Amino acid sequence: MSLIVMKFGGSSVGTAERIKKVAERIIASKEQGNRCVVVVSAMGDTTDELIDLSNQLTDHPPAREMDMLLTTGEQISIALLAMAIQSFGHEAVSYTGWQAGMITEPVHAKARITDIRPDRVLASLDQGKIVIVAGFQGISGDGEITTLGRGGSDTTAVAMAAAIHADYCEIYTDVDGVYSTDPRIVKCARKLDQISYDEMLELANLGAAVLHPRAVEYAKHYDVQLVVRSSFNHNEGTQVKEEAEVEHGIVVKGIALDKNVARISILEVEDTPGILAKVFTSLAKEGINVDIIVQSGTLNGKADFSFTVSSADVGKALQVIENIRPEVSYREVTSEAGLAKVSIVGAGMVSNPGVAAKMFEVISGQNVNIQMVSTSDIKVSCVVAADRANDVIIALHSAYGLDTSEQAFVGGPKERR
Ligand code: ADP
Ligand code: ASP
Ligand code: MG
């Protein structure tokens, strides 16, 4: 008998029919003698639709009310799933994030979990019930409803698994594991039997939506056994663990894509000590994440520098830079949206010279201009035009010997924003 956390993403519970299928799957696990805590996301595209609704009312939806709105999505799916399970004659109870004891920092839209008090969850398990918990949501110390960032239900699941000392955590989604790249872009992507926490964290941080980065951080920190598999079939899935076996000859393990990249350039900045600190501290204070930073050489005491932010943050970032103009002297600020970051990831890269050079060659072979580059021991990222990113990924996947002869499993269409 195991204590397990099972998480089902939006497309897994997209319709009443799908909810029934998920209910049957959970019951099957219970009947094998397991104690089950289930975390669910909002149905299908509900979260996107709620965001669209708010945008019809205002250009600047207040963060507090946005969290109030978005958390309703998960509340619908937990209630429906509990009903479905009960209709099959099994006991189930649904809990919102706050009822399940998910305490977060007092931040809207991307709060971190600070504490979990799973008393009610454990008490219901002891009563023999299947416990259904709403993903992606929590409550701050001052009693405000918060959300964990897009895709955050994975984090709810892994954090809950750590808090109740579950034997393992299963992430059920619409693909049957973690692939070498998004199988929606590369049909012959390679399914990985296992991947290390560090490689998965890098891929997730670089845009691979299959797991929320914080979920991987949690799993690594609390040593949670994590499996990614499909709710549409019974295939084995991918284990995410401390050390994954290295497949002979494979240096690049995965390729990630982030299509929401924008570049901001500040031209002819007075090149004195403290200028970069001033700019980036001001951006950080507004919660804007800066990614790749490039500074050009100095000419006549002035330098140009460029950095990337997520497309959603461009307006706010430009405003911040305008606001500090009295303290930072520069000639002009420009910005460019419609960019994408393509990254290759692999723990073996550090000891294999020429991996980055090959990436640049492959991209230029596609006649695509590389606008920015950033590297670390286990990854190389290139910023390119978003509308050519898929071609680049397909070419890289083949060049690094990752193509397989099998067709990847993808459970139904999905529009990615
Ligand atoms: P869920 O709603 O179940 O949380 P997500 O859309 O968040 O599902 O994550 C699953 C999707 O992640 C897949 O449909 C796939 O398009 C995308 N994806 C991106 N990179 C990868 C990868 N390396 N392996 C598998 N899936 C990936
Ligand atoms: N419903 C939320 C989202 O769409 C959280 C999640 O699915 O994990 O981002
Ligand atoms: Mg997800």
pLDDT digits (tens, 9 = 90+) for 86-112: 999 999 999 999 999 999 999 999 999
322: left (phi over 0), alpha (psi -120 to 50) or beta: alpha
For ligand 1, what atom is nearest to the CA of residue 12? 3
CATH 3.40.1160.10 in the chain, residue ranges: 3-245
Query: Which pLDDT band holds residue 315 (cuts at 50, 70, 90)?
Result: very high
Query: Which pLDDT band holds residue 415 (cuts at 50, 70, 90)?
Result: low
Whether CATH 3.40.50.880 fits 255-399: no
Query: Which pLDDT band holds residue 130 (cuts at 50, 70, 90)?
Result: very high
Query: Which pLDDT band holds residue 139 (cuts at 50, 70, 90)?
Result: very high
Kindly state if the Cβ of 174 falls inside 6 Å of ligand 1: yes
Kindly state if the Cβ of 210 falls inside 6 Å of ligand 1: yes
Residues paired with residue 380 on neighbouring β-strands, in sequence order:
344, 375
Find the 209 Cα to ligand 1 centroid distance in Å: 5
CATH 3.30.2130.10 in the chain, residue ranges: 255-399
The two structure tokens encoding residue 263: 């570049």
Nearest residue to 360 (alpha-carbon basis) of 309, 404, 308, 395: 395
Kindly state if the Cβ of 173 falls inside 6 Å of ligand 1: yes
How does pLDDT run across 345-358, given as a tens digit for each residue? 998 887 888 999 99
* Under 8 Å between Cβ of 137 and 176: no
The set of residues, in sequence order, having a beta carbon less than 8 Å from that of 400 and lying 6+ positions away, is 250, 251, 252, 255, 344, 358
What is 3-245's CATH number, 3.40.1160.10, 3.40.50.2300, 1.20.140.10, 2.170.190.11? 3.40.1160.10
Kindly state if the Cβ of 153 falls inside 6 Å of ligand 2: yes
Find the 312 Cα to ligand 3 centroid distance in Å: 19
Query: Which pLDDT band holds residue 295 (cuts at 50, 70, 90)?
Result: confident
pLDDT at 275 over 90: no
How does pLDDT run across 316-340, given as a tens digit for each residue? 999 999 999 988 889 999 999 999 9
Query: Which pLDDT band holds residue 416 (cuts at 50, 70, 90)?
Result: low
Average model confidence (pLDDT) across the chain? 94
